[in-house]
Structure 1
Amino acid sequence: MKRTLGKKIAGLFILLLVAGTAFAQQNKLSGTVSDDNDAALPGATVQVVGTSVGTITDADGHYSLRLNKGNYTLKVSYIGYKELQKKINVDGSSDVLQNFVLYAGEELDEVVVVGSRAHPRSRLESLAPIDVIDRKIFKEAAQVNLNQLLNYVVPSFNSNTQVISDGTDHIDPASLRGLGPDQVLVLINGKRRHTTSLININGTFGKGAVGTDLNAIPVASIKRIEIMRDGASAQYGSDAIAGVINIILEDNTAEGRVDFTSGGYLSKNSEGTLDGETVQANANLGFKLGKQGGFINLSGSYDFRDPTNRQKEFTGTIFKDYNFPDRYANPTGADVTDVELARLGKTRADYVSRIGQSKNRGGALFFNSSLPLTEHAELYSFGGLNFRKGESAAFRRQPAQLNQNSEYLYPDGFLPLINTDNIDQSLSAGIRGKKGEWDIDFSNTYGRNSIDFVTSNTLNASLLDASPTRFEDGGYRFTQNTTNLDIHRRFDLLSGLDLSFGGEHRYENYQIIAGDENSYRDYGRAVKVGTDANGDDILVSDINGDIQTLQSADGKNYAGGAQAFPGFRPENAINVSRSSVAAYVDAEVNLTPKLLAAGAVRFENYSDFGSTLNWKLALRYKLNDKWALRAAASTGFRAPSLHQRYFSATSSLFTDGVIISSGTFRNDSRLANLLGIPDLKEEKSYNYSAGFTGRFGDFNLTVDGYFIRIDNRVIYTGQFKGSNAADASDQDKEIYNILNQAGASTARFFANAINTETKGVDVVLSYNKKVGPGLFRADLSGSLVKTSIVGGVHSSELLAGKESSYLDDASRIYIESAVPRVKGSLSLSYSPYKWNFLLRNVYFGEVDAATNTVADQETYGAKVVTDAVVGYNFTRSFKLSVGANNLFDIYPDKATGSNVGAGYFVYSRTGQQFGFNGRYVFGRISLTL
């Protein structure tokens, strides 16, 4: 009965929305927007000042609005052109034709939609600091993927390609304002984007977090990106503690575009003249649908990336005397590496791992579309598919590691390879329009990510010489479905009131898929079931057995599971879901023509941990036409991900120079109970910000300071160990036995363990002016941020004496100082005649090595990295660009001590600034069809 009634109500709602309303006493205002050369400007913004009414021009530069009788001021803007305002009179008797001509010159104060549910505002008029990165910046950049481009263009954003970190080698963790990858919300066309199915568990920034894979979105599909640097949980929900990244998809139908970029690392440390070669092909094409402004825009990309290696030689033990029983009759485990290398005619450089970027092949297809139904209602849809096949290397297994090798299969050791099939899918569809004075938007957004792992060029040592060399390890799945209803209306109260309200339902599902048995099992384990007539033990093979039956020549137990990446065991496999419902109210009111106030309240309830209520207040005061003050205060939250609640696995981990097997255990496990680790709950935040915006001459300036307090922050703990010593406690003995059954030597968990405070200042100064025959633009920006852990660790009595494992030094450094606390950028571009020139210098501040070895907690100094790009338009349709990222081949400071390991890491893998691949050179062909 209820379901039938619900269907009727939904059907009636959609029918009313599609039907539209009569537009009595309204006239059509239309015209074109062009430049001073009479060329149409598609995508120009036409806004009725002081109202929510506005539009953008189509492919021919045409716009159309419907207005009631009255006097209006129209504001017309386009990136790189002077803004134009004009007064218009609509007398109610006839339609009005009004054309606009814009002139190149001062920087446009770009119109943005993120951060406000009212009508779009200019960037300088927004209540929160917002960065805008338009398509032109993508075309001129020296980077080929979205994470790296933002890392060089936006100082408050950090992301780097990781190494020797399993799946994280293929999905770069990214952060905003120095916070975690899961504390920034990503939207596409204003709709929540799903996260990846991967959780970062190895030695990288963002350890223990689940982020959004920005590189799954092809740059060809992006019209612009809006980055809101302010807490927004009360506006958009979970994850928006550091801010919001809103990606606006391309809606162009005027032209087709094809870009082809090829390059590689031409560096002093390259293997050969050039390594890490990349090829990227992008295409974008749009079509009109009907005659009422409908469109569909299609984008595609293909990516090819070869790996790099920056390890020069392996300094550890390659051969022991056990490797040559015919030469060493009574082996003792002595290191005979140098002698045997000389005899074999080899060097330590022949036994290196692959320390650099991973190999990648993939492609993507995206679309963005809209179909008007009536004058004031439209259907819209967008989404895409991305597939990437990756290959990263683990640590090389040397011949001396007898219990991890088979001399028959790999007489010279082997380099394990971790292969991933990463599939990302998304689809959004909705209907929006007007019902009377109300703007209504009803939508559904679906997203899914799956990652499957295969370990190749490896073995399961416990299978001895019969081991296969390729293993199906299982994988991850994450699905998210979000349904939104958003309603907005503007009231003529005071100097204008915008009221918005709505609701959201979100469903999430997380799965871990078990691997094949030979990928995880230790075939040397057995249990005793009795004795035979001779008194000998009768042993039966058992995956959880406490007796080891297979030992290598040096007396060590043969390792089970695929070396480097053991498969997921049946007890790791899960299929869990949750749902949440939310309701919000959001209001913006112009109390006076100079004072704008905004407030939002959001209630959200999760099926797995309960409810949360959050609020936000913001003010902007215009001192005059050029200067304004703004401030905001809010509370926020982040729901712990399903990954953090339910992930468990055993993995190889490089810790302070040693490779060990470490297990991750759920909070409802016996181990968690032994240590008193509680169930996860949401993180709560308190955000405060204040700043000012201004124009002086041809300059635009924004300065914003902020303070973010996060309570009950979720961390990925350090490593807990047990003991089977005679004098060990019962607790430590049980921990040891559980770890032994899991094939692990240490245990880690997710826990609400700490509180943090983040303080910072962001400054952006822009200059844009026509100089001589071209347009000159300069952007100087900087970010200063400091995150500190405050108060004690949220411990329990059962953790007494183990606090340093609960929050170890490495985890603290990852949170506080593993990414630059100071970052700045100066970009200069000039476009005279058919040329364009770009010179960008980025200052990456110092970072610290995340290690538990106090003597090796070194600091790596600040560096400046220079990009240079030169482009020439041979014709209107053909352009050639050449350039370099890291033009002067700058590298970070070299690592020392345990940060180097056995020669693995010439440069730190834990304290990341800009990577360590060196100079990247490229050429790019751009075609306009």
Structure 2
Amino acid sequence: MGLVSFGFAQKGTVSGTLTDADGPLIGASVVVVGTSTGAVTDIDGSYSIKLDPGTYDLEASYTGYGSQRLTVTVKAGETTAASFLLSAGISLDDIVVTGTRASNRTNTDAPVPVDVINVSKLSAVAPQTSINQLLQNTAPSFSSNTQTISDGTDHIDPASLRGLGPDQVLVLLNGKRRHTTSLVNVNGTFGRGNVGTDLNAIPAAAIQAIEVLRDGAAAQYGSDAIAGVINVRMKEDVNKLSFNLTSGANFTSEIGPFGGEKKNQDGEVVNLGINYGLPMGNNGGFINFTGEFNYRGSTNRMQEFQGGIFNALNAVENVALQNKVDISSWGMQDVQAMALNVSHSGDLMQQIANAPDLETLQDLLGTDVTDAELAARGQVRSDYNMRVGQSALRGGKFFANMKLPVGENMEFYSFGGIGYRRGESGCFYRLPSQSRTTTSVYPNGTVPRINSNIVDRSIATGIRGMVGNWNVDLSNTWGSNSFNFFMTNTHNATLGPSTPTTFDSGGHSFTQNTANFDMSQYFDNIGSIKGINIAFGAEYRFENFREIPGTELSWGNYDINGNLVNSVTPSELLSRDFLGRNRPSGAQCFAGFLPTNDVDANRSSAAGYIDTEFDLSDAFLVTAAVRFENYPDFGSTFNYKLASRYKVTDNVSLRGAFSTGFRAPSLHQINFSRTSTIFELVNGVSVAQERGTFANTSRAAKLLGIPELKEETSVNYSLGFTAKMPELGVRLTVDAYQVNIDDRVVLTGGFSAGDDEELQSIFQQAGATQATFFANAIDTKSKGLDIVISHRTILGQKNTLTNDFAATFSQTEWDQGISQGDLDSDDDRIVVNGVKASKLLAEKGLVGTYFDQQSRIYLEQAVPRTKLTLSHTLTLDKTTIYLRNTLFGETTEATNEAIFDKDLNLTDKSIDPYNSAKVITDLSVGYNFTPSFSLTIGANNLLDIYPDESDHTFWSSGRFRYSRRSPQFSMNGRFLFARIAFTIE
């Protein structure tokens, strides 16, 4: 109903309470429909709004509850009572703040798709405890998985929207931009070459709801919002202590032996969350605290190593070690004499003893004797398993959210927190037969451990309120993430037997500070227009990225005299094993960051925006936004967004949007460099490569012809409809979209130095055998369809049933149709078969390395392109039953081994790179013994479903039965849990 004003100078008051069946609702919203005026309920569920005399529609809402409207008439100097009784359950209309700067827009009225996920309620019944996994199994277009054998990415899960990159989704906390991590994903995982935001750094116990905007929003929120926006809304509860303890583990027959032990369970989880809020003052102020402790055990799904473990030299060494003979300075005759004492392989040992020269001796000593030596040592192949599964993590988080009214119309607010996480992940087994293993230190080889110390900190402060008729918000948000690597159970092979076994390998950090000023006002009845919301503001952002070198022992390459190798070190002084093979430098598995990697880079950016929403009528909404953004290293950009919604009926709406986007390469992508040990499959065998990631501006990049980095730009289209059937309790949204991204930043394939002496010298200084670079190699097109259906019904007085179906069908493709004419006139790159390369790359025949098949699969098919989720929540008085089935669609192994055509159709059927679709079932049953105490038991992956076993080409001698490059879902199998929760009010 429209607003009718009688023009009296004296105001009236509307007041009342918001309650549900159990009592008052704290922090619920009451808004005057069609305006920005409203209130939030106090600790007793009460509210009060002063209004000019007139007749108004009031709408009450609370996340996870159905909204309700009342019509009231306000008289001057009088108080009008208006109370609301809301019904629990998933509402047909949730008030949203993401994607709109109007204060009373619902997700079905919004011109773009926004999912509202009540984390507070979901975390009470769902098996998952981390935010990434809660969203993975709930939000239709969200994708995230734990990774394995991927260095730092084992410790921070990459996440994405709509199949785009982790760095193309913007994360907000209470509507304010959140910082990314300092980690660059450079190993073999989805999101390779990207930098994401660590949602798991936010405690689930602190979160009331999460809004997922599935539409491009760079014109509204700035760089990174190409795929969409995730806004995390923190709790505002007061006078209530909430305690939540979850414990569980994986119970599955697929647990692999590790360290000579086979467990009946692994992946143990303990999660403790405590939340408490205090009122501040008498006008709705509060401070809400959350503490959370997390422990997650490691898992292993490797069953038995099938490759070579020992050569003949290891057999000879083992006899010498048993006899306490020092083998570190052995000569040819020492080895030959000891070979006759080996208890197996008699003919071979006789040949070794009689070898006429060193070259012949080395060839014979390299002979594989694995089976015989295992028997001699009383061992089995599974003793040489590495740990293939999730990493072990433990840590804690403390967050706070506060608001304090200042005068009648303003409030001071602040929120943020600190989190610490310590992780441990495994590496490839350093086998006795490898030159990278010093057998005098580790006779049976070793599995190095990557230990991480991750610290995440943030604080936002601001003041907001009314200045005249304008909503004003002035804020500053600071955040940082640091990631330090410590290696254990490892060694530096170039130091021989004098090597330490633990190392400080250095790390990296990222800091971001964002200052914002925002103003908005809703204008009623402007001529024939029902109302206009006008918002504008400015942003200034400062960023810093650092790489911190490790200790010298962690990266050093030492000669046989213990001196650091340099460009003039004679070849005969380089550290080699007895077979003449060079020993790799640095701490095995994760060598330290080099002094040449040391970087301390800063960048600032400034932006301004105007965001308007025109309610042309009750049915027709048009929104328009424009944003100017300036980066000193990439120049200026204007981005635009136009969106509309038209109500065909009260319950059916059409909506659509068009927008442009922009993403400047991150400071990490511009400045990151280091050398890592990467194991590549070559004819089914894992071959170690020391792969250096070099800065795009480096001399190596110039010599190879890598084009300079530039910004990504995008165009986003969406079209959909929403429908409500209130009599049936059903809400439906269907949205189609297409996102075109030009100059997509990727991490290239591995280049070799070839015959270029200068490149050879650069590689040697970096300890690298290959080089990769960040580059704008391609354009992509992503399109898809998202469907969300929600149904809620009341069964009797205390019973409810909620059914939710969500589906996403997406496809990202490399745009091979671009031509030279699509480049700007001042662009000196050339287009070669759809790749934006350089003349030098083309002349060297390296375009196929610049953007290789594996990189393409990571972009197009490494995550499921189809995901369907069907969940049911049945509440029967004191019992809650939760059932969810999720279908994860097909993925393709990210590999250069399989042979595809230009459209990624498999042409050689001798290798099967596909992982077929699977359905995962979650089930939980909760019982409320009292209104304040409950017990929930249940399972994730109840039926113990695993991905398809990979083609044997990808097994890497039995290491990877399931895909580690393109996982659809966790390879951990069945997880059983129990959870207790209680509240004290």
- Cα deviation digits, residues 82-129 of structure 1 (max 9, x gap): 432211111222233322223457734111100001123111111110
Q: For residue 175 of structure 1, give the secondary structure of its aligned residue in structure 2.
A: strand
1:891-906 equivalence runs, <5 A = 891-906=946-961
Q: For residue 137 of structure 2, give the secondary structure of its aligned residue in structure 1.
A: helix
Segment of structure 1 superposing worse, 691-700 or 384-393: 691-700
In 2, the alpha carbon distance for the partners of 1:80 and 1:722 equals 59
In 1, the alpha carbon distance for the partners of 2:157 and 2:766 equals 29
For 1:141, the aligned partner's letter is A
How far 1:558 sits from its partner (Å)? 1.6
Task: Give the structure 2 partner of residue 741 of structure 1.
Answer: 765
Contact kept? 1:793, 1:803, Cα under 8 Å? yes
In 2, the alpha carbon distance for the partners of 1:24 and 1:438 equals 20
For 2:774, the aligned partner's letter is F
Contact kept? 2:163, 2:863, Cα under 8 Å? yes
In 1, the alpha carbon distance for the partners of 2:569 and 2:161 equals 47
1:106-185 equivalence runs, <5 A = 107-134=91-118, 135-185=120-170
Equivalent residue for 2:403, pick from 362, 370, 389? 370
Equivalent residue for 1:245, pick from 227, 230, 237? 230
Task: Give the structure 2 partner of residue 421 of structure 1.
Answer: 453
Instruction: Confirm or deny that 1:49 pairs with 2:33.
Output: yes
Segment of structure 1 superposing worse, 126-135 or 58-67: 58-67
Task: Give the structure 2 partner of residue 98 of structure 1.
Answer: 82
How far 1:461 sits from its partner (Å)? 0.5
Instruction: Confirm or deny that 1:820 pairs with 2:805.
Output: no
For 2:734, the aligned partner's letter is V
Task: Give the structure 2 partner of residue 920 of structure 1.
Answer: 975
Contact kept? 1:80, 1:108, Cα under 8 Å? no
In 2, the alpha carbon distance for the partners of 1:488 and 1:177 equals 30
Task: Give the structure 2 partner of residue 338 of structure 1.
Answer: 371
State the superposition RMSD in angstroms: 1.5
Task: Give the structure 1 partner of residue 835 of structure 2.
Answer: 793
- Cα deviation digits, residues 280-330 of structure 1 (max 9, x gap): 000000000010110000001001111111111111110001112323334
After TM superposition, the runs of 4+ consecutive aligned structure 1 residues lying more than 6 A away are: none
Equivalent residue for 2:429, pick from 377, 391, 396? 396
Contact kept? 1:890, 1:918, Cα under 8 Å? yes
Instruction: Confirm or deny that 1:878 pairs with 2:938.
Output: no
Instruction: Confirm or deny that 1:500 pairs with 2:535.
Output: yes
Contact kept? 1:848, 1:857, Cα under 8 Å? no
Q: For residue 135 of structure 2, give the secondary structure of its aligned residue in structure 1.
A: helix
Task: Give the structure 2 partner of residue 593 of structure 1.
Answer: 618
Task: Give the structure 1 partner of residue 482 of structure 2.
Answer: 450
Task: Give the structure 1 partner of residue 706 of structure 2.
Answer: 677
Task: Give the structure 1 partner of residue 384 of structure 2.
Answer: 351
Segment of structure 1 superposing worse, 463-472 or 23-32: 23-32
Instruction: Confirm or deny that 1:542 pairs with 2:565.
Output: yes
TM-score normalised by length of structure 2: 0.88
Aligned residues: 886
Contact kept? 1:711, 1:755, Cα under 8 Å? yes
Task: Give the structure 1 partner of residue 356 of structure 2.
Answer: none
Segment of structure 1 superposing worse, 296-305 or 894-903: 894-903
Contact kept? 1:454, 1:471, Cα under 8 Å? yes
Contact kept? 1:667, 1:677, Cα under 8 Å? yes
Instruction: Confirm or deny that 1:910 pairs with 2:965.
Output: yes
- Cα deviation digits, residues 249-289 of structure 1 (max 9, x gap): 00011411000000000011124221111100000000000
Structure 1 segments unaligned to the other structure (5+ residues): 1-22, 527-538, 725-731
For 1:718, the aligned partner's letter is G
How far 1:24 sits from its partner (Å)? 6.0
- Cα deviation digits, residues 522-578 of structure 1 (max 9, x gap): 10289xxxxxxxxxxxx9753444644221011101221000000011000100100
Task: Give the structure 2 partner of residue 14 of structure 1.
Answer: none
1:525-564 equivalence runs, <5 A = 541-545=564-568, 547-548=570-571, 549=573, 550-564=575-589
For 1:400, the aligned partner's letter is S
Contact kept? 1:221, 1:298, Cα under 8 Å? yes
Task: Give the structure 2 partner of residue 727 of structure 1.
Answer: none
Change (3 A) 1:460 1:479: same
Task: Give the structure 2 partner of residue 536 of structure 1.
Answer: none
In 1, the alpha carbon distance for the partners of 2:266 and 2:306 equals 24
1:9-88 equivalence runs, <5 A = 25-35=10-20, 37=21, 39-79=23-63, 81-88=65-72
Contact kept? 1:525, 1:547, Cα under 8 Å? no
For 1:642, the aligned partner's letter is L
Task: Give the structure 2 partner of residue 13 of structure 1.
Answer: none
Change (3 A) 1:546 1:598: farther
TM-score normalised by length of structure 1: 0.94
Contact kept? 1:79, 1:108, Cα under 8 Å? no
Change (3 A) 1:673 1:157: same
Contact kept? 1:546, 1:741, Cα under 8 Å? no
Q: For residue 115 of structure 2, give the secondary structure of its aligned residue in structure 1.
A: strand
Task: Give the structure 1 partner of residue 750 of structure 2.
Answer: 719
Equivalent residue for 1:266, pick from 251, 272, 294? 251
Equivalent residue for 1:840, pick from 881, 884, 887? 884
In 2, the alpha carbon distance for the partners of 1:189 and 1:541 equals 51
Segment of structure 1 superposing worse, 495-504 or 675-684: 675-684
Change (3 A) 1:640 1:89: same
How far 1:814 sits from its partner (Å)? 0.2
How far 1:511 sits from its partner (Å)? 0.2
How far 1:895 sits from its partner (Å)? 1.0
Instruction: Confirm or deny that 1:710 pairs with 2:741.
Output: yes
- Cα deviation digits, residues 178-222 of structure 1 (max 9, x gap): 000000000000000000000000000000000000000000000
Contact kept? 1:850, 1:857, Cα under 8 Å? no
Change (3 A) 1:581 1:809: same
Instruction: Confirm or deny that 1:292 pairs with 2:283.
Output: yes
Task: Give the structure 2 partner of residue 461 of structure 1.
Answer: 493
Q: For residue 121 of structure 1, give the secondary structure of its aligned residue in structure 2.
A: coil
In 2, the alpha carbon distance for the partners of 1:486 and 1:167 equals 37
Equivalent residue for 2:512, pick from 476, 480, 484? 480
Q: For residue 854 of structure 1, give the secondary structure of its aligned residue in structure 2.
A: coil
In 2, the alpha carbon distance for the partners of 1:48 and 1:294 equals 21
Contact kept? 1:251, 1:297, Cα under 8 Å? yes
For 1:281, the aligned partner's letter is L
How far 1:668 sits from its partner (Å)? 1.3
How far 1:812 sits from its partner (Å)? 0.3
Change (3 A) 1:452 1:93: same
Q: For residue 783 of structure 2, give the secondary structure of its aligned residue in structure 1.
A: strand
How far 1:864 sits from its partner (Å)? 0.1
Q: For residue 340 of structure 1, give the secondary structure of its aligned residue in structure 2.
A: helix
How far 1:169 sits from its partner (Å)? 0.4
In 1, the alpha carbon distance for the partners of 2:158 and 2:22 equals 45
Contact kept? 2:707, 2:838, Cα under 8 Å? no
- Cα deviation digits, residues 585-624 of structure 1 (max 9, x gap): 0100111221100000000001222111100000000001
For 2:420, the aligned partner's letter is F
Contact kept? 1:525, 1:542, Cα under 8 Å? no
In 2, the alpha carbon distance for the partners of 1:525 and 1:466 equals 11
Task: Give the structure 2 partner of residue 622 of structure 1.
Answer: 647
In 2, the alpha carbon distance for the partners of 1:764 and 1:503 equals 35
In 2, the alpha carbon distance for the partners of 1:396 and 1:45 equals 57
How far 1:245 sits from its partner (Å)? 0.1
In 2, the alpha carbon distance for the partners of 1:352 and 1:748 equals 30
In 2, the alpha carbon distance for the partners of 1:145 and 1:292 equals 34
How far 1:404 sits from its partner (Å)? 1.1
In 2, the alpha carbon distance for the partners of 1:553 and 1:62 equals 81
In 2, the alpha carbon distance for the partners of 1:898 and 1:745 equals 24
Q: For residue 720 of structure 1, give the secondary structure of its aligned residue in structure 2.
A: coil
In 2, the alpha carbon distance for the partners of 1:595 and 1:88 equals 25
Contact kept? 2:234, 2:401, Cα under 8 Å? yes
- Cα deviation digits, residues 213-239 of structure 1 (max 9, x gap): 000000000010000000000000000
1:602-613 equivalence runs, <5 A = 602-613=627-638
In 2, the alpha carbon distance for the partners of 1:237 and 1:828 equals 37
